[in-house]
Amino acid sequence: MTASVDRKRSLIGFAAVTSLFFAWGFITSNNDPLIVALRAAFSLDYSAALLTQIVFFLAYGLLSLPAAWLSSRLGSVDTILGSLALMAIGCVAVVVSTNAGSFWPILAALFVLAAGFTALQVAANPLAADLGPPEGRHFRLNFAQAFNSLGVVLGVHFGSVVMLGDPVLCHGSGTLDAARRGQLLDAVDQAFLVMAALLGALLLVFLAMRRTVIAVAPNNRQEPSNMFAALASRWAVFGAVAIGLYVGAEVSIGSIMINFLNQSHVLGLPLEDAGGYLANFYWGGALAGRLIGTALLTRVRATQLLATCGIVATLLCATVLVSDGPIAGYAALAIGFFNSIMFPTIFSIALERSGVSQSSTSGLLCVAIFGGALLPMAVGAIADRFGLGVSFAVPLMAYAFIASFALAAGGRLFASLEPAASASPIP
């Protein structure tokens, strides 16, 4: 009876944590329509408008390790509660800052939101992996990340409808007058008030379930550790490099996909149609692949599945490099499907093999996301000089490294490393 009760409580706790993954996917995906809205409202150039994305990467780089240090002392559950409160405050701060008549206060408010988001991710990823039998951690983290992908899809639609619903305001030519700018910023306010309400509701739910989640989380509170402890772990550093390369490769390909598919020697699609292909096949493929991959992880070792995805993604990039026409276009789009399980699987493998505190390892892995922002710069430089197709050489090398990480974790490389644990039925 006790085992059955504990299992039920673990499932309830896992469901609560999974809702967090959906929420942060939903909220962060609103950055894309927000960029369009703020660029129109303040007549920004692209470099300035993209600072709305940069502040999130900056928060990862500056705050992930301090968040890990805090989590090791407060416990992951209390860190999550604080993160949700900070994110809600950030959303309200965005609403307040739109009345300042300047872009910079909004950027500062977004950094507050990004700080809460960073701490949430540092605490929630290892917690989701821990809520159940150890052999099911890869399954659980991939399943939770599938809801993050669902949140991204729905969040983009929400933000586009609420913030960009008036094409005259968002896409009209010239500088907006005060009245039209006010209408556009009111739409931004409406979106962020909805997100603040969502975060407030999640905070209340998690507060009510606090004791239940703590009771079933074996690593909720660990021995306080040095925030840099993970740097001494070969596996934590190996995993951090793999995470950074994955994020950089995924973002790079997504950033150039519309222009790549638009080229006459690839698919020759109009830009609007190419955008639809990006949303439905590249990002939609990632969502489908994450669901399928989660199911496969009940039968296939995580290291084997990750290695397969890394190798196939490498081969797809090579196909883009050596071909043209539909073959190159659809090969590029197919990469999204094989991206799907990479982030959560790399994360969970690094957590279980690091040999240091999970909070410190999680912090280092989240710091690496900031490093992934460097790959799009390399892709852009190569694309400018040699063409978009040739720029796929950068993600090709990233995916080859990820495949090497998976093979090493599975004992196929470096004989001194132990093989990964076998897969097991759904926990």
Contact 402, 246 (CB under 8 A): yes
Closest CA to 180 of 193, 192, 168: 168
Write out the DSSP string of 308-374. HHHHHHHHHHHHHHH--HHHHHHHHHHHHHHHTTHHHHHHHHHHHHS-S-HHHHHHHHHHHHHHGGG
Amino acid 418: pLDDT: 43
In the three-class reduction of DSSP (H, G, I as helix; E, B as strand; rest coil), residue 245 is classed as helix
| DSSP line for 165-192 | --HHHHH-SSPPPHHHHHHHHHHHHHHH
Spatial contact of 64 and 154, defined as CB atoms under 8 Å apart:
no
Residue 177, Cβ density class (10 Å: 0-12 exposed, 13-18 middle, ≥19 buried) = exposed
Specify the pLDDT at position 348: 85
CATH number for 2-216: choose from 3.40.950.10, 1.20.1250.20, 3.30.720.210, 3.40.50.11260: 1.20.1250.20
Q: For the chain, give every domain's residue range.
A: 2-216, 229-409
Per-residue pLDDT tens listing for the chain (427 residues): 455 656 777 777 788 888 888 988 888 878 877 877 887 888 877 667 767 877 888 888 888 888 888 888 888 889 999 999 999 999 999 999 998 888 999 999 999 999 999 999 888 888 887 777 777 777 887 888 888 888 877 887 788 778 877 665 555 545 667 778 888 889 999 999 999 999 999 999 888 888 888 877 765 555 555 557 777 788 889 999 999 999 888 888 887 887 788 888 999 888 667 777 877 888 888 888 988 988 898 888 889 999 999 999 999 999 999 999 999 999 999 999 999 889 888 988 988 888 777 777 878 888 888 877 778 778 878 888 888 889 899 999 999 999 999 999 887 554 444 433 333 333 3
Topology alike, domains 2-216 and 229-409:
yes
Contact 14, 132 (CB under 8 A): yes
Three-class SS state of 218: coil
| Helical segments of 75-136, H only | 76-97, 103-130
The amino acid occupying position 417 is L
Whose CA is closest to 297, among 125, 153, 150, 129? Answer: 129
Nearest to residue 37, comparing CAs of 118, 92, 110, 88? 110
Backbone angles phi, psi at 224, to 5 degrees: -50, 135
Question: What SS3 class is residue 417?
Answer: coil
* Residue partners of 100: CB distance under 8 A and separation at least 6: 106
Q: CA triplet 365, 85, 351: central angle to 5 degrees?
A: 20
Q: What per-residue confidence (pLDDT) applies to 218?
A: 61
pLDDT of residue 223: 54
Written as one letter, the residue type at 323 is: S
User: Domain 229-409, what architecture?
Assistant: Up-down Bundle (1.20)
Q: What does the pLDDT read at residue 175?
A: 64
In the numeric block, which tokens belong to residue 352?
A: 């279980």
Tell me the CA distances in angstroms from 226 to 61, 72, 105, 199, one per residue in order: 17, 9, 34, 30
